């Protein structure tokens, strides 16, 4: 029920209602102890799973609904890329409302959001990640955040990400991952309840492991892993970050 309600509130026709609901919740949680780098709000707490009263040290931003992973990504983009410096053609696969809204606000970024259905206000193009309806080399950067664990043919998806990035461009990939083991997948597991047990969520088809870098390299990328464990404790606390949100920075050779 909560998942269906969340999707409903992100529907383009209800964008104003969503904005007002988040604005009001943001007022309730206004403070100075924590900070959301995505929307810039000062907060007294983060909230648990889009809730109102229950709080969590690494939960959702009450003002913009950004998850810990989106706050981590925004900080990383600002510190490690040309996000604010150059004209940037940027694609986000399955865009998350808060992050994509912030990206679209940057005057130097030409944003495209692609998803299999027009389920959010920042989805500008309908398409599947395994067959993107885009020209080769048409983007300087691609964000693929917690998408590949839902895709049965992830190698085909990675090939598509590589294809649409220009030479010298980059992709940022993040997935649920266990770095102490190899990727676990079993195509025979199709029942959602069994997938919940095996892979952590009903719609997941694998648990990624340390060999994800090999899959990214096989697609053609030069890969650099940025570990969440390297983030200072004070930064994690201030911005409500998690220790399991590792980022793969994938560059397409020029």
Distance CA 59, CA 36 (A): 11
Instruction: Please write the tens of the pLDDT for every residue from 20-38.
Output: 777 678 678 899 999 999 9
What class is the 69-251 domain?
Answer: alpha beta
What confidence score (pLDDT) does residue 118 get?
74
Distance CA 118, CA 13 (A): 11
Lookup: tokens for 67: 């998850």
Coil, helix or strand at residue 239: helix
> Where in the chain do CATH 3.40.50.150 domains reside?
69-251
| Mean pLDDT (the chain, rounded) | 91
Instruction: Please write the tens of the pLDDT for every residue from 76-127.
Output: 999 999 898 889 999 999 999 899 999 999 999 999 999 998 766 789 999 9
What confidence score (pLDDT) does residue 122 get?
87
132 pLDDT higher than 80: yes
Name the CA dihedral angle for 195, 198, 201, 202, rounded to a multiple of 10 degrees. 10
């Amino acid at each position: 029920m909560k998942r269906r309600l969340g999707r409903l509130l992100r529907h383009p026709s209800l964008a104003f209602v969503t904005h007002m609901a988040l604005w009001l919740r943001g007022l309730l949680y206004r403070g100075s102890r924590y900070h959301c780098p995505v929307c810039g709000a000062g907060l007294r707490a983060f909230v648990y799973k889009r809730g109102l009263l229950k709080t969590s040290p690494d939960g959702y931003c009450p003002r913009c609904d950004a998850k810990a992973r989106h706050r981590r990504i925004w900080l990383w983009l600002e510190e490690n890329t040309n996000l604010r410096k150059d004209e940037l053609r940027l694609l986000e696969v399955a865009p998350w409302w808060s992050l994509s809204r912030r990206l679209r606000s940057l005057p130097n970024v030409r944003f495209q959001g692609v998803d299999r259905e027009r389920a959010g206000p920042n989805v500008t193009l309908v398409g599947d990640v395994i067959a993107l309806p885009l020209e080769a080399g048409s983007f300087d950067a691609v964000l693929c955040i917690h998408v590949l664990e839902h895709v049965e043919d992830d190698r085909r998806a990675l090939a598509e990400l590589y294809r649409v990035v220009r030479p010298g461009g980059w992709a940022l990939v993040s997935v649920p991952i266990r770095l102490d083991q190899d990727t676990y997948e079993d195509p025979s597991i199709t029942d959602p309840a069994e997938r919940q047990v095996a892979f952590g969520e009903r719609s997941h088809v694998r648990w990624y492991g340390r060999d994800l870098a090999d899959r990214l390299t096989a697609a053609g990328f030069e890969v650099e892993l940025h570990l969440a464990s390297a983030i200072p404790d004070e930064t994690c606390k201030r911005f409500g970050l998690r220790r399991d949100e590792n980022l793969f920075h994938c560059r397409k050779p020029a």
